[in-house]
Amino acid sequence: MESTMMDYPLTVPHILERAGRYFPKVEIVSRLPDKSMHRTTYREFYRRSRALAETLRKAGLNQGDRVATLMWNHYVHLEAYFGIPAAGGVLHTLNLRLHPNDLEYIVNNAEDRFLIIDDVLLPVLEGFRSRVNFERIFVVNHSGAPLAAGLESYADLIAGATGEFAYPKIDEREAAGMCYTSGTTGRPRGVVYSHRSTVLHSYNCVLASTMRVSASDVILPVVPMFHANAWGVPYAAAIMGAGLVFPGPYLDGESVLELFEREQVTFSAGVPTVWLAVLQLLEQEASRWRLAPGLRLAVGGSAAPESLIRAFDRFGITVLHAWGMTETSPVATIASLKPHLERLPEDQRYAYRAKQGYAAPFVDLRVVGDDGKEVAPDGKSMGEIQVRGPYITAGYFKMEPTAEKFTADGWLRTGDVATIDEEGYIKITDRTKDLIKSGGEWISSVDLENAIMGHPAVAEAAVIAIPDPKWDERPLAVIVLKPGAQATPQDIETHLAGKFAKWWLPDQYVFTDSIPRTSTGKFLKTALRDQYGKRGPGAAAATKVA
């Protein structure tokens, strides 16, 4: 029997209309490249996003055509998030930290027709421009300097709008956006989001048991808008009418804290490396900033150490630990505590909050062992996380789905290794490629890192596998100490002893000034493996006595 319900498509223009109609006075604040502050409202955002949609159509954009962006987080990028899909186009966010060869590959693979770019990022474009075919390049000209030949002004483009614009008819299954995975192994792969997946994902993000976004929030996405849709934050904010604060290119702890205070931010999102920097500043002099009460931080992209969650609590700041990937739109699980877990003793509560949480609505999740069967939900047995759902990718752009990435029964193989407990909370122990195999047993680099970062002298830590003739692989810890702090390898080892089986403890501890980052701000373990991976066991003595 058919229902009597309307067949109403779930599309991005609906979110835009809603924001313009119900939240016109809500503010959108951006820090621009010259550090000046730009203030606007949803009213203006609504007008300009529609102007972008109208003028893109007039410029010849057809349904399904890709428009690339190369921008920091600010109000124009927000307009692109809405205006491009509203024109029936596909927003393709380019990661400005990628190598020019990767950008060239990605732009050609996606067949991007137009580009919207920050003037300060023109040097990035120059690195690959001659090898791609943008038909038109629109520059957000923050500085006002004259534009070189072949470049057009974004402001002039949208100034050509009449306001007489009707959205094209959009099927909810049509593409709205695309984003490439970072390609740490092999070529970057294109994930294409539909209007429907974007709406359902954004809707999931606002729920009380997930990120709890509401009209009372002022949200600062530190996570770049080129990284998996800034975790859905721009769309989630517009659905609920939350204020937005964009940090522009300034993502250091000092700048973030300053904006938190100035705009009384209530919710933010970013990778752990950002929060480790913020935390260090707070620990040095918390009274410098008067932050909004009840500030929440969504932390994901890599594991949030329990020590980080505990430390932020001491400043009245709540960490919400989430897990996902570009392929999952990205928010797939979140570690909000079920009410009966809130009543557990403190240590157990923190242990739960340090897990990656349970699946968001409509995300099916299973953890599958080497034997192809789901592992026991005992919080100990490890297996690969596999997911499916309406905002999980079923393939990659212009690529045949492979058995390495998808199971025969249609689930995405995430390559993340985890345990799952009887409450359904997963705990990531590693990415498949980062696991350390010692004497035939797995050692979790994530668990070791998080414990090391719990040492009061440690700012950052990453643990990698190094080859070992006897055990196959052994762990090596790379550690950055807090400014002025001191610790010896023995101190770290004493700190770890008792928390782990003896054979888990790193063979070597290397102290360094900084740990290299990936293009999305995570610790770059491939670089560490290149740098330290060739060390044999003989190096141990030298580094242990630092």
Active site positions, annotated:
181, 327, 437, 442
Q: How far is CA 164 from CA 18, 62, 81, 532, in A?
A: 18, 18, 20, 61
The number of beta carbons lying within 10 Å of the beta carbon of residue 111 is: 13
Question: Does residue 448 touch ligand ADP according to CB under 6 A?
Answer: no
* Nearest distance in Å: CB 517, ligand ADP: 11
Question: Does residue 205 touch ligand ADP according to CB under 6 A?
Answer: no
* Nearest distance in Å: CB 69, ligand ADP: 17
* Nearest distance in Å: CB 326, ligand ADP: 4
Rounded to whole angstroms, how far apart are CA atoms 278 and 257? Answer: 7
Listed ranges 193-201, 297-305, 437-445, 466-474: which one lies at the site for ligand ADP (CB under 6 A):
297-305
Number of residues that bind ligand ADP (CB under 6 A): 22
Question: Does residue 211 touch ligand ADP according to CB under 6 A?
Answer: no
SS3 category, 472:
strand
Q: Which residues in 6-28 are b (16+ Cβ under 10 Å) and which e?
A: eeebbbbbbbbbbbbeebeebeb
In terms of DSSP bridges, do strands 175-180 and 190-194 run parallel, antiparallel, or are they unpaired?
A: antiparallel
* Nearest distance in Å: CB 428, ligand ADP: 4
Q: Which of 168, 172, 159, 181 is nearest to 200 (CA)?
A: 172
* Nearest distance in Å: CB 57, ligand ADP: 32
* Sites for ligand ADP among residues 316-355 (CB under 6 A): 321-326
Rounded to whole angstroms, how far apart are CA atoms 84 and 86? Answer: 5
Contact 330, 389 (CB under 8 A): no
Question: Does residue 431 touch ligand ADP according to CB under 6 A?
Answer: yes
CB-based contacts of 14: which residues, under 8 Å, 6+ apart?
199
What is the arrangement of strands in the sheet containing 426-431, beginning at the earlier edge strand?
A: 364-368, 383-388, 412-420, 426-431
SS3 category, 427:
strand
Rounded to whole angstroms, how far apart are CA atoms 450 and 427? Answer: 12
Listed ranges 67-75, 143-151, 178-186, 375-383: which one lies at the site for ligand ADP (CB under 6 A):
178-186
* Closer Cβ to ligand ADP, 321 or 455, answer by number: 321
Rounded to whole angstroms, how far apart are CA atoms 506 and 464? Answer: 9
SS3 category, 133:
coil
* Closer Cβ to ligand ADP, 87 or 334, answer by number: 334
Question: Does residue 450 touch ligand ADP according to CB under 6 A?
Answer: no
- Binder to ligand ADP among 48, 201, 522, 535 (CB under 6 A)? 522
- Binder to ligand ADP among 188, 249, 300, 389 (CB under 6 A)? 300
Tokens of 159: 């100034």
Rounded to whole angstroms, how far apart are CA atoms 341 and 345? Answer: 9
* Nearest distance in Å: CB 504, ligand ADP: 18
* Nearest distance in Å: CB 353, ligand ADP: 12
* Nearest distance in Å: CB 305, ligand ADP: 10
Tokens of 196: 């429907």
* Closer Cβ to ligand ADP, 184 or 512, answer by number: 184
* Closer Cβ to ligand ADP, 326 or 543, answer by number: 326
* Closer Cβ to ligand ADP, 243 or 270, answer by number: 270
Question: Does residue 187 touch ligand ADP according to CB under 6 A?
Answer: no
* Mask for 479-518, x = binds ligand ADP (CB under 6 A): ---------------------------------------x
Contact 184, 518 (CB under 8 A): yes
Q: Which of 179, 256, 274, 255 is nearest to 219 (CA)?
A: 256
Which letter does DSSP use for residue 401 in this model?
P
Reported as type and span, the H/E element at residue 285 is: helix 272-285
Question: Does residue 202 touch ligand ADP according to CB under 6 A?
Answer: no
* Sites for ligand ADP among residues 75-134 (CB under 6 A): none
* Closer Cβ to ligand ADP, 87 or 443, answer by number: 443
* Closer Cβ to ligand ADP, 259 or 528, answer by number: 528
- Binder to ligand ADP among 79, 102, 306, 416 (CB under 6 A)? 416
* Sites for ligand ADP among residues 233-252 (CB under 6 A): none
Q: Which residues in 437-471 are b (16+ Cβ under 10 Å) and which e?
A: ebeeeebbbbbbbbbbbbbeebbbbbbbbbebeeb
Single-letter amino acid, residue 202: S
Question: Does residue 356 touch ligand ADP according to CB under 6 A?
Answer: yes
Question: Does residue 195 touch ligand ADP according to CB under 6 A?
Answer: no
Residues contributing to the site for ligand ADP (CB under 6 A)? 181-182, 184, 228, 300-303, 321-326, 356, 414, 416, 428, 431, 518, 520, 522
